[in-house]
Chains A and B, each alone.
Chain A
């Protein structure tokens, strides 16, 4: 019953209506509210500004701990040292590998499963599989960590491959949920006409359904990307060999070695966070829509 109501809803969109809500009289934008919000946004910018200025200082200048002073002279020493000390290219490559496997794995597995479930809802096996896959929402990683670390060690997956598999598994519930709701909202006529033309189930999925799922795939992919790229808890516990660690874990490992070379530390932090920020700049729209769909739909 719960699931019925849950599945019959059509995929939602973030409302784009823009109407006057508060404050300003007439149609003029409120400068007061705008300025207040700009001031509040400093809370977002201060730590990022500090990261940026510290990263471009020389070690000598960064030692005084004055985060707001501008770098003089402007130096990329911090980046060079962080690059070599943490072996950034390797950490970056491993992070990219784990994240790419997570994103592709999540979208593929969740899309396959959700399509099978949505189109066979009247069959108990598929219906129960849906609830079964959803159960991981009840299981935060700390609950499973001790056994998962033991098991991945036993089967030779105490490495980035194991981390990626677990990342996919923890994204699966949420992604299957989003995809299933989305597919239920797609018209079945297109699929039926393709089938009448002799297309197999696989071809229908590949050429008709999957392309139509693109907007939801983007949302699922972005969430998988963020969860995987930024995660510290899972790789730090699962991957046994510290030379195979992802960027967030490297910050932890090298914390003591950065010591008071603050410019090196901040250059390293900046290189670890920059890729996610860059991806966000290009995908804001889907990130914002995704949160809303995930929580309300």
Chain B
């Protein structure tokens, strides 16, 4: 009985085993294991452990130190009815949506321009990519000055009353400044992806269209746009995912204000360090993590056909 079962299993394994398995080297060299070990070890300590710890603590009433009890879903239930948390999610998601649309429109148009027959193409590309290498918080401080001094001066000079007071002090418009600075910094990477997308379109397609008398605008909307649609999707998902982490630029511009009108999700999570609601913000971080997972899965699915990320 036992022998029969063992035989069946052995046969089953034999059939299932791919041809590769029988011809491969019997053991991987020890060096390969040593190559992999440091990454796995550090990763487990620095990423996996905090993740498990955070999710576990989100079900407790820990204040960050001392004893704590498991409180089940209490934190999560409280989160969903907390107006401050809701406001931070509404602000962050709204900001990310507006930014992703603005970034993609501008980046696409710039990419069309930068792949056209123009002068100083290399220099212009280098200029438009430059904002990518500048620290978010530092450039946010520069813009902070422009928004609170230069723009009001300009507003006074040309007589636009809406601009005479600083946008940063206006609870209804302060978010616009965050969109502008985030876009300023995020356009380069979207732009480079669009340039690659446009250059992957065979030139013959345009030549054929030109021969059929298609105008430049027609070629843009009937050839370029449909053929880079996949890149639009990639840019949208990657961008949205990044903008949800908004923190540095907001610190430099409004620091969450005026009031709490521009507090991002990251900012509310970090308030767990001081507010005594450590476990509560762990629960907030866990929800945020689930959103990040959904977006990452979406990104993987959307880019699978194109190979990787």
Contacts and interface: CB of A to CB of B under 8 A. Distances in A.
Contact of B42 (A47, A148, A165): A165
Given A33-B113, A296-B306, A273 B139 contact: yes
B179 interface: no
Interface string B279-294: 0011001101100110
Contact of B50 (A5, A151, A177, A247): A151
Interface centre among A15, A117, A147, A150 (most CB of B within 10 A): A147
B289 A138 contact: yes
A135 B35 CA distance: 19
B149 interface: yes
A49 B107 CA distance: 22
Contacts of B131: 44
A132 B42 CA distance: 12
Contact of B288 (A43, A116, A142): A142
Interface stretch (B69-77, B97-105, B188-196): B188-196
Contacts of B143: 47
Contacts of A149: 273
Given A22-B219, A266-B142, A148 B269 contact: no
B89 to A, nearest CB: 13
22 contacts: A6-B308, A9-B307, A14-B199, A15-B200, A20-B117, A29-B117, A38-B120, A50-B146, A113-B36, A143-B54, A143-B285, A146-B278, A147-B57, A151-B53, A166-B46, A176-B39, A266-B142, A291-B189, A292-B192, A295-B189, A295-B235, A297-B309
Contact of B285 (A146, A168, A172): A146
Contacts, number: 329
Interface string A51-73: 10010000000000111100000
A87 interface: no
Contacts of B134: 230, 273, 276-277
A224 interface: no
Nearest 5 Cβ contacts at the A-B interface = A147-B50, A65-B149, A201-B31, A230-B135, A112-B35
Contacts of A252: 137, 251-252
A50 B146 CA distance: 8
B153 interface: yes
A233 B38 CA distance: 25
Contact of B137 (A135, A151, A232): A232
A41 B285 contact: no
A24 B149 CA distance: 41
Interface stretch (B7-15, B79-87, B122-130, B167-175): B122-130
A200 B31 contact: yes
Contacts of B244: 140
B259 interface: no
Contacts of B229: none
Contacts of A54: 145
A17 B203 contact: yes
Interface in A141-197: 141-151, 165-166, 168-169, 172, 174, 176-177, 181
Nearest to B269: A142
B35 A115 contact: yes
A191 B264 CA distance: 50
A208 interface: no
Given A120-B28, A139-B47, A169-B46, A295 B39 contact: no
Interface centre among A20, A22, A172, A280 (most CB of B within 10 A): A22
Interface in A215-250: 226, 229-233, 237, 247-248
Given A145-B266, A166-B46, 11 more contacts: A19-B203, A29-B118, A31-B119, A135-B47, A136-B47, A143-B288, A151-B49, A201-B32, A273-B134, A276-B135, A296-B303
User: For chain B, what secondary structure do more than half of its interface residues adopt (helix, strand, loop), or is it mixed?
Assistant: helix
B193 A296 contact: yes
Contacts of A84: none
A277 B130 contact: yes
Contacts of A113: 35-36, 38-40
B161 interface: no
B129 A248 contact: no
A237 B116 contact: no
A74 B91 CA distance: 43
A138 B28 contact: no
A294 B196 CA distance: 12
B128 A269 contact: no
Nearest to B56: A147
Contacts of B307: 5-6, 9, 296-297
A131 to B, nearest CB: 11
Contacts of A36: 113
Contact of B199 (A15, A109, A255, A280): A15
